[in-house]
Structure 1
Amino acid sequence: MTRDGGPRTTGPGRRLRRHAVRGTLSALAAVVVATPFVGAWSYDGARRAVSPQAEPPVVETDGASGGIVKAGAGAPVVLAYHDISPDPTNDYTLTPRQLDAQLAALAAAGYRSLTTAEFTRYLTTGASPAPRTVYLTFDDGTRGLWAHADRVLAKHRMHAASFLITGAVGTHRPYYLSWAEIDRMKSSGRWDFQDHTHLSHERAAVDAAGHQGSVLSNRLWLPKEKRLETENEYRLRVRGDLDESLRAFSGHRLPAPRLFAYPFSETAGPTNLAARNTSVLERLLRERFTASLTNVSSRPLPAGPRAAAARQVERLEVLRTMSTDAFVKRLNERICRSPAEIPEPMRNPEQWQFPGSPSGTGLTALTGTGAAQGTYVSAVHLPMGTADWNTYRVTATVGRLSGTGTSASIEVGHGSLHPVSVTVSEAGLRVTERPAGGTARVTTGRLTPAARHRLTLEVSPGGVRVTVDGGHAMVARATEDPDPARTSGGVSLAVRDETARTAAWPRFTALRLAP
């Protein structure tokens, strides 16, 4: 008997069993030895895989191109896409028909797409490649770019940039691109490739409570040590990720990326970095890239001198829920205009935005009956399309001023690092300068009492000359740093009524812009 109580095998049967055991062990050994090679073959196969391409859809033009502004200025609009699929499962994935309709509208309106080299040349030199241009960007590096977007680009003779998460290439197939597909896209001449981190496009715990944050812009919670990363640990981790991504570009014979797209566009999001070191990530990026791209910014940063100085460009993110008409509307808000192209902006209510005002507020709140509730209404005129204005004249007429409880304001250099606002009441004038990082400076004056005043603001990089009723004049923002990138920006308006009247608010009866 054996130790476990079973029958003892002898003679030929025992030899057969021994041979069977040896055979099983040999097979297991072969599996163990072969497993890494099978895994490597499978991984290499995924890296080398090339998906079939779909033909572009046949889409009849719907006339949307007729609504796209054909402005004379040359600053490009930057568009941010993600994935393309005929069966989208989220709002970040457009169908090929949607992409085709948008590119068709752009092409019909005379727009052409830029390469990354052309776009970065514009940012660094200010030399516009041509009027009416767009820079098409696709984040994450998904397979849909090869399978569906590439043929649509070819149909419209356009170029695009794919921002790669280099550590994800060839993984989670068929979601991400393979390196073989990237090589074919590069060879087509329709694509170039830029950076979207190596493996830092994710969220993780950033405190003991487990709250999630971008791993790129936060120190991570280390559960074993029960503490946050130190700032030096954070710096080393992020530097290592960025450099690993650059090595992946070099290792696959791709040109070094010039641009970086923030994961989740969390440039304006919360961070647990110490206030004095919130720019550590910015410094790491500036050491490696010409500029970074984001879809969310703390101030308007369209492609242009202001964005070039900040080395950060804000894009228009295109979602599946955006109709072609909505796409055209959002695009027009981004297209750079000159003061000569919009001399009477109040004739175009669609060009105004109302941040911080009651829901449903429209331009009539500043030109007619006022708002239904509250005591203050403000409006910004094309904050993206006018961000790089630095030399222009604003002339306005304000009426219905009564006492000290009502006033109207004009701000020039909106969104700049040194905006200036001019406020008039029935008998008073106040000029306020707000230099970034400095203390606001306020200058006041007395006016001849009147319910109506006429204001002229002459704006230049070095200062703003304010004239009221043709006689009272002062100069604001006389600065030692007249860099247009610091002082450029367009116009915003505001009216205030603290008298609790339901009608007859202060109003702008005229507003003109000129070069």
Structure 2
Amino acid sequence: MTRRGASRTAAAGRGTGRRLRGPAVRGTLAALAALVVVTPFLGAWSYDSARRAVSAQADAPYAESGQSTGEIVKAAASAPIVLAYHDINPEPTNEYTLTPQQLDTQLAKLTAAGYRALSTQEFTRYLTTGTSPAPRTVYLTFDDGTRGLWAHADQVLAKHKMRAASFLITGAVGTHRPYYLSWAEIDRMKASGRWDFQDHTHLSHERAAIDAAGHQGSVLANRLWLPESKRLETEDEYRTRVRTDLDESLRAFAGHHLPAPQLFAYPFSETAGPTNLAARNTSVLERLLRERFTASLTNVSSRPLPAGPRAAAARQVERLEVMRTTSTDTFVKRLNEWVSRSPAEVPEPLRNPEQWRFPGSPSGTGLAALTGKGVPNGTYVSAVHLPMGTADWNTYRVTATVAGLSGTKTSASVEVGHGSLVPVTVTVSETGMRVTERPAGGTERVTTGKLTPASAHRLDLEVSPGGVRVTVDGGQALVARATKTLDPARTSGGVSLAVRNETGKAAWPRFTALHIAP
């Protein structure tokens, strides 16, 4: 008898004005005793049912008519592009949830461009060997382990003959139904051959107080405030807590007969977030992850880390995050920024304004700022050429011609190895040159020289893992970063340009030519 049923019986007794006696009392007591005994089992059964529940699947949507005309670049051989998704639902309630139609359209674009989706095993093999089973590939990742992957994304993958990886918050599986996947749904996804499963913590995908004022921060990347003790966790307590969470997650994989995860996705992309760990120990989380996983994935990085040798050396891979607000045109445009190109595939970068990015510059800044227009408010502007698509360049030649130089208050710069741990920048003014080496964690090294005064100069930079050979106006060569001890993955990177004008006049120095060759 349920509690509601018992209430109805009691009410009926009161309505007749009779008291329950004898057998009636014994029957009521027996029913109450049974209720006390059964209730915990009912709760456990309900919880277990939620964990074992399997939702119905929706069919993949029909192809959308009137799609955008933009196409994904078909590079000769591109490194895998890692895409980061979250939930899929026909009625999205937040910016992280795409509709099945959006996912279908995006995968159709990838299929039309000849892209193949990698398994986690294939992707990690690429990171360790540098070889890919196809010239154009993607690695599709879905964070959090939401039910929408089974109910709505799975049949879209089947339609396009693609596969993906779901990064599970293992402690959330089977909870908050119908939001998270159940273990039974995970079993069916695994059996389909379209999914594998990777790590997204056990129960550390949340924020909590990290100081006495109650400011919130990621529990994975910060020591927590302990209100009972009125203090922060010690670093030993932090390390123990994080280690326990990661190991509990690995036990959940083993306990449900899933292969041990090889990759870890940072909740909230902690790699770029603030932390209250002491500076000497900010890498403690990284060490804990390296002990357990081949690499970690993040959506925000302090330097470009698309899948490739540079990312493999850092054991951290940057993903291209796809949001509900990402239109098909934007999806194609951003993918084209991530497609890795060889130096031979982009010989004349100044002819392709869409390939340049202007970090830190006013909105609307374009390539014209480097070719004579400058910026209306400011004295300096810089731009990077395809920072994701050129991250693994390590052997190439740059030839640039600069004009419009006047005195010492105007200059132009070419940087090679952009985003590497040892970039080299060559700066010229009307009368001089400066070569700057900025090793990460090391001492900046500057070499200067005089030039025959002229308003225009030609720069030649020959880049290799062992050094950068710099020649200006065909003069004597200078070799920067001359060493054989650095791994190419530490020195790799593409080209950035900058111009400076401190004269207060409208005439800016300008790049009149830029050529890149193998």
* TM-score, reference length from structure 1: 0.95
- Distance apart, 1:476 and its partner CA: 0.3
Deviations 1:305-328 (A, max 9, x none): 000000000000000001000000
Contact 1:358–1:374 under 8 Å retained in 2: no
Give the structure 1 partner of residue 478 of structure 2. 474
Distance 2:32 2:171 in 1: 33
2:244 aligned to which of 240, 263, 268: 240
Give the structure 1 partner of residue 9 of structure 2. none
Deviations 1:164-206 (A, max 9, x none): 0011111111000011100000000000000000000000000
Matched, 1:305 2:346: no
Give the structure 2 partner of residue 435 of structure 1. 439
Q: 1:65 to 1:245 in 2, by over 3 A?
A: farther
Give the structure 2 partner of residue 506 of structure 1. 509
Unpaired runs of 5+ residues, structure 1, are: 1-12
Matched, 1:89 2:93: yes
Give the structure 2 partner of residue 4 of structure 1. none
- Distance apart, 1:28 and its partner CA: 2.9
Say what the alpha-carbon RMSD is for the aligned residues.
1.4
- Distance apart, 1:449 and its partner CA: 0.2
Unpaired runs of 5+ residues, structure 2, are: 1-16
Distance 2:115 2:214 in 1: 47
- Distance apart, 1:130 and its partner CA: 1.7
- Distance apart, 1:65 and its partner CA: 7.0
Matched, 1:253 2:294: no
Distance 2:512 2:22 in 1: 103
Q: Which is further off, 267-276 or 66-75?
A: 66-75
1:145 aligned to which of 118, 143, 149: 149
1:154 aligned to which of 152, 158, 162: 158
Contact 1:99–1:152 under 8 Å retained in 2: yes
* TM-score, reference length from structure 2: 0.95
Give the structure 1 partner of residue 35 of structure 2. 31
2:460 aligned to which of 451, 456, 461: 456
- Distance apart, 1:44 and its partner CA: 1.1
Q: Within 5 A, what are the aligned runs for 1:14-93?
A: 16-17=20-21, 22-60=26-64, 62=66, 64=68, 67-93=71-97
Contact 1:61–1:101 under 8 Å retained in 2: no
Contact 2:465–2:484 under 8 Å retained in 1: no
* Aligned residue pair count: 502
Deviations 1:9-59 (A, max 9, x none): xxxx99944765554443332222112210111011111111110011002
- Distance apart, 1:498 and its partner CA: 0.4
Contact 1:64–1:105 under 8 Å retained in 2: no
Contact 1:88–1:94 under 8 Å retained in 2: yes
1:182 aligned to which of 182, 186, 209: 186
Secondary structure of the residue that 2:110 maps to in structure 1? helix
1:350 aligned to which of 351, 354, 357: 354
Q: Percent identity?
A: 83
Contact 2:426–2:433 under 8 Å retained in 1: yes
Secondary structure of the residue that 1:313 maps to in structure 2? strand
Distance 2:148 2:84 in 1: 15
- Distance apart, 1:368 and its partner CA: 2.4
Deviations 1:235-280 (A, max 9, x none): 1111111111111101111000000000111211000111101111
Distance 1:34 1:290 in 2: 47
Deviations 1:279-318 (A, max 9, x none): 1100110000000000000110000000000000000000
Amino acid at match of 2:481: R
Distance 1:169 1:268 in 2: 27
Q: Within 5 A, what are the aligned runs for 1:62-461?
A: 62=66, 64=68, 67-461=71-465
Secondary structure of the residue that 2:222 maps to in structure 1? coil
Q: 1:61 to 1:346 in 2, by over 3 A?
A: farther
Contact 1:114–1:135 under 8 Å retained in 2: yes
Amino acid at match of 1:410: V
Distance 2:396 2:133 in 1: 24
Distance 1:313 1:65 in 2: 30
Distance 1:61 1:445 in 2: 61
Contact 1:65–1:105 under 8 Å retained in 2: no
Amino acid at match of 2:118: L
Q: 1:267 to 1:378 in 2, by over 3 A?
A: same
- Distance apart, 1:358 and its partner CA: 2.1
